[in-house]
């Protein structure tokens, strides 16, 4: 809107020059206006020039004022409530609630309330066999499963975003070490035991993959539905849980997940902590193991400690505790892409590097999707009609675009949902490693997947949160 007003104002000198019949000046001002138009509209690296100026100004102001830096209450000795979330910037409005007790083990699943976006979210950890060794037939089945997931979310008209996050983390082998301690036979031959110890060292060059799904439900949609489930907060939590079970059955059914575990508050806190500090995993796993025999050991991460102690946003990366992260979004190739393009991105280039890929599916309401498709089709038809009347040749790209619009409209009519997905990829390395180099390697990995990387400069903090913290923070939400 501001851009539109700015552009309108920028035409005034031209009109004034015309009204004064100063034709040369009016032509000059028109040229200036066109330049302003180009700077405002044409994106360079994702933003138009004006957008870059605004972002740079905000970044510089915040940097000078010290707003970019985050210091946790714990690091300042100011923690009053261990259960209160204490995290930087975009996560400041997040609160984590315990859902209703569910299932035979009466787990209380964590519900994420984001006051800044006025949304609710729920997160699960998924185990899946992947597609690395799947046949084309299985891949097609999984693809249909993902479509079914989006369609089911759209049909319910409650979920408006689904986040799928994959983290490829260096393997600290803590579980292996604990297992070896418990299982090595005291009478075992020396060679066999020595081999185990050598392998433990080797295995630390391996990686482990964690996968999360987060469902985001806006309050505007939930409040009405929650009335039927008991109203108030309890009604909301019950509604969210019923959505989670519905989506869970699609994950384990058509999408082929072997297990889906909706996270409790301590589990989610751990997932968040490991998002900020992947190196903490060994101590947390060790503590969890010790807690099974020693009740005095606290294996849980309190929410006040789940965030970073210190974090700051640089122009091209984000620094959090002893780690640095670079996050990029991707542009798909024009010729289309195939399933499995993320394989290169999820392969760390060094044993200490962590890679993350988060794919977000914002889902449009069916009515809105139909209207937008009709509008696009109308615009296309109008343009085509004008071109035909003026005798302008219709290029191959126009034909392709028309075909895509027709196809989208046909699919919507057949019950498909409209979504506008995006992906963010990140690399996290210890602060001692050259982050610029690892940023380049991430870009190279994205290119190997036949996509084009776009570094999310001056927004690395928010991009990091979406890429690695499974709390359902959206980059596409335009409200507020």
Partner 1 sequence: MARTIATLLSDFGHTLPTRTPTPKESTRREFTTAPSWRGRPTAGAGWVPSRPPVKQYRMTSDQVGIWWPLLTASPLPPTGAAMGTDVANGTTFYVDPHGWVLDDTIPVTNPNIFIFGKPGRGKSAWVKAFLNRMLAFGYQALILGDPKDEYEVMCRHFGVEPWAIGPGMPARLNPLDPGPLAADWDTLDADEHRRRTAIIFGRWVVLLRSLIGSQSIGHQKVPVGPTEEQILTTVLKHLTHATTDSRQLAPIVIGQIWHALQSPDPTLIDDLRYANREEFLRDTRLLRDAVAQLISGAMAGIFDAPTTITIDWTAPIQSLSLSRLEPLGDDAIGMALMCLNSWGTAMRQAGGRRRINVRDEVWRQLRLGTSAVASFDADLRLSRSHGDIEIANAHKPSDYLGAGHTGSQAQQIAQDLLHLGDIKVLFGQDAEVADDLEQLLELGPIARDTVTGWAMGSKGRALVAVGPRLHKVHLTLHPDLELPLTDTNQAIT
Candidate ranges 22-30, 87-95, 269-277, 438-446; the one touching partner 1 (CB under 8 A): 87-95
Asked if 262 interacts with partner 1 (CB under 8 A), we say no
- Could you give the C-alpha distances from 275 to 110, 247, 420, 439, in angstroms and in order? 17, 24, 25, 18
**In the set 14, 26, 211, 238, which binds partner 1 (CB under 8 A)?**
211
The stretch among 31-39, 227-235, 238-246, 435-443 that binds partner 1 (CB under 8 A) is: 227-235
Task: Candidates 406, 411, 436, 448: give the one binding partner 1 (CB under 8 A).
Answer: 411
Enter the tokens of residue 318.
Answer: 């984000």
278: contact with partner 1 by CB under 8 A: no
Contact between 198 and partner 1 by CB under 8 A: the answer reads yes
Block residue for tokens 């081999």 = 195
Q: What is the DSSP string of 57-77?
A: HHHHHHHHHT-S-EE-HHHHT
Q: Could you say whether residue 67 binds partner 1 (CB under 8 A)?
A: yes
Distance CA(433)–CA(262), nearest Å, equals 35
CB of 435 to partner 1, least distance (A): 17
Q: How far is the CB of 399 from partner 1 (least distance, A)?
A: 19
Other CB atoms within 10 A of residue 229 CB: 17
From the CB of 149, what's the least distance to partner 1, in Å? Answer: 9
Write the interaction track for partner 1 spanning residues 21-60; mark x where CB under 8 A is met and - where it is not.
Answer: ----------------------x-xxx---x--xx--xx-
The answer for residues whose C-beta is within 8 angstroms of residue 354's C-beta and 6 or more apart is: 167, 168, 169, 170, 278, 348, 427, 428, 429
Rg (CA), the chain: 26
| 309 is an interface residue for partner 1 by CB under 8 A | no
Whichever of 123 and 312 has its CB closer to partner 1, that residue is 312
Please, what sign has the CA dihedral across residues 351, 325, 339, 335?
negative
Choose, by CB under 8 A, the member of 17, 263, 313, 429 that binds partner 1: 313
- Site residues for partner 1, 105-164, by CB under 8 A, read 113, 115-118, 126-135, 142-144, 146-147, 150-151, 154, 164
**Nearest approach, Cβ of residue 375 and partner 1 (Å):** 12
132, 277 Cβ separation under 8 angstroms:
no
Q: How far is CA 318 from CA 85, 93, 396, 423, in A?
A: 20, 20, 43, 18
From candidates 22, 35, 234, 283, binder to partner 1 by CB under 8 A? 234
Minimum distance, C-beta of residue 20 to partner 1, in the bound complex (Å): 40
Chosen residue from 29, 70, 303, 438 binding partner 1 by CB under 8 A: 70
Count CB-CB contacts under 10 A for residue 312: 18
Q: Which residues are within 8 A (CB) of 353 and not within 5 positions of it... i.e. 6 or more apart?
A: 170, 427, 428, 429, 433, 438
Q: For residues 327-366, which are near partner 1 according to CB under 8 A?
A: 327, 329-332, 336-343, 346-348, 357-359, 361-362
Of residues 335 and 389, the one with the C-beta less far from partner 1 = 335
Tokens of 414: 């057949």
Q: Does 83 bind partner 1 (CB under 8 A)?
A: no
Q: Measured from the CB atom, is 29 or 464 closer to partner 1?
A: 464
Rounded to whole angstroms, the Cα distance separating 440 from 272 reads: 26
The residue to which tokens 């890679």 are assigned: 355
Minimum distance, C-beta of residue 72 to partner 1, in the bound complex (Å): 9
Least Cβ distance, residue 27 to partner 1 (angstroms) = 33
- Spatial separation of the C-alpha atoms in residues 429 and 409, rounded to whole Å: 44
E strand segments, 59-153? 70-71, 94-102, 107-114, 119-128
Q: Is 447 in the site for partner 1 (CB under 8 A)?
A: no
Is the CB of 29 or the CB of 318 nearer to partner 1? 318
Contact stretch for partner 1 (CB under 8 A) within 6-14, 204-212, 265-273, 429-437: 204-212
Contact 207, 169 (CB under 8 A): yes
The token duo for 199 is 């392998």
**Nearest distance from residue 307's CB to partner 1, in Å?**
9
**Is residue 375 a contact point for partner 1 (CB under 8 A)?**
no
Nearest CB to partner 1, comparing residues 109 and 473: 473
Whether 166 contacts 342, CB under 8 Å: yes
Q: Which is nearer to partner 1, 87 or 272 (CB)?
A: 87
For partner 1, how many residues bind (rule: CB under 8 A)?
Answer: 139
In angstroms, rounded to a whole number, what is the distance separating the alpha carbons of residues 61 and 40? 22
Q: Any contact of residue 286 with partner 1 (CB under 8 A)? A: no
68 binds partner 1 (CB under 8 A): yes
99 touching partner 1, by CB under 8 A: no
Nearer to partner 1, 22 or 208 (CB): 208
Looking from the CA of 238 toward its CB, the CA atoms found within 13 Å total: 11
For the bound state, the minimum distance from the C-beta of residue 393 to partner 1, rounded and expressed in Å, comes to: 27
């Amino acid at each position: 809107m501001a851009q539109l007003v700015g552009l309108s104002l920028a035409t005034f000198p031209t009109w004034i020059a015309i009204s004064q019949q100063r034709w040369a000046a009016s032509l000059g001002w028109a040229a200036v206006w066109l330049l302003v138009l180009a700077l405002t509209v044409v994106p360079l690296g994702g933003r138009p020039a004006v957008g870059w100026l605004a972002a740079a100004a905000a970044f510089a102001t915040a940097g000078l004022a010290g707003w970019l830096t985050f210091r946790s209450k714990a690091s300042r000795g100011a923690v009053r409530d261990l259960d209160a979330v204490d995290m930087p910037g975009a996560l400041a409005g997040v609160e984590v609630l315990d859902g209703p007790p569910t299932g035979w083990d009466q787990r209380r699943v964590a519900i994420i309330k984001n006051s800044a976006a006025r949304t609710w979210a729920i997160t699960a950890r998924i185990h899946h066999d992947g597609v690395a060794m799947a046949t084309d037939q299985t891949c097609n089945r999984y693809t249909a499963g993902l479509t079914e997931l989006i369609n089911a979310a759209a049909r319910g008209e409650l979920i408006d975003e689904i986040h799928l996050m994959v983290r490829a983390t260096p393997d600290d082998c803590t579980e292996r070490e604990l297992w070896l301690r418990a299982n090595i036979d005291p009478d075992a031959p020396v060679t066999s035991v020595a081999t185990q110890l050598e392998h433990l060292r080797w295995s630390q060059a391996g990686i482990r993959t964690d996968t999360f799904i987060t469902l985001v439900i806006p309050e505007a949609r939930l409040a009405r539905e929650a009335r039927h489930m008991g109203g108030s907060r309890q009604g909301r939590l019950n509604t969210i849980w019923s959505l989670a079970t519905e989506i869970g059955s699609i994950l384990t059914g058509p999408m082929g997940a072997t297990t889906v575990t909706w996270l409790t508050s301590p589990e989610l806190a751990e997932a968040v902590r490991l998002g900020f500090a992947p190196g903490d995993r060994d101590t947390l796993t060790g503590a969890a193991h010790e807690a099974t025999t020693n009740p005095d050991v606290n294996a849980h991460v309190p929410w006040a400690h789940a965030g970073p102690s210190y974090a700051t946003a640089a122009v091209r990366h984000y620094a959090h505790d002893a780690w640095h992260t670079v996050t990029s979004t991707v542009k798909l190739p024009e010729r289309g892409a195939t399933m499995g393009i993320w394989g290169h991105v999820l392969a760390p280039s060094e044993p200490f590097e962590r890679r993350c890929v988060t794919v977000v599916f914002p889902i449009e309401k069916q009515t809105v999707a139909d209207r937008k498709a009709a509008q696009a089709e109308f615009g296309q038809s109008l343009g085509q009609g004008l071109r035909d009347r003026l005798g302008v040749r219709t290029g191959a790209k126009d034909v392709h675009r028309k075909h895509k619009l027709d196809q989208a409209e046909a699919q919507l009519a057949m019950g498909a949902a409209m979504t506008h997905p995006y992906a963010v990829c990140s690399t996290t390395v210890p602060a001692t490693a050259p982050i610029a180099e690892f940023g380049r390697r991430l870009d190279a990995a994205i290119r190997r997947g036949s996509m084009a990387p776009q570094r999310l400069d001056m927004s690395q903090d928010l991009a990091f949160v979406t890429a690695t913290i499974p709390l359902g923070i959206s980059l596409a939400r335009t409200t507020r």
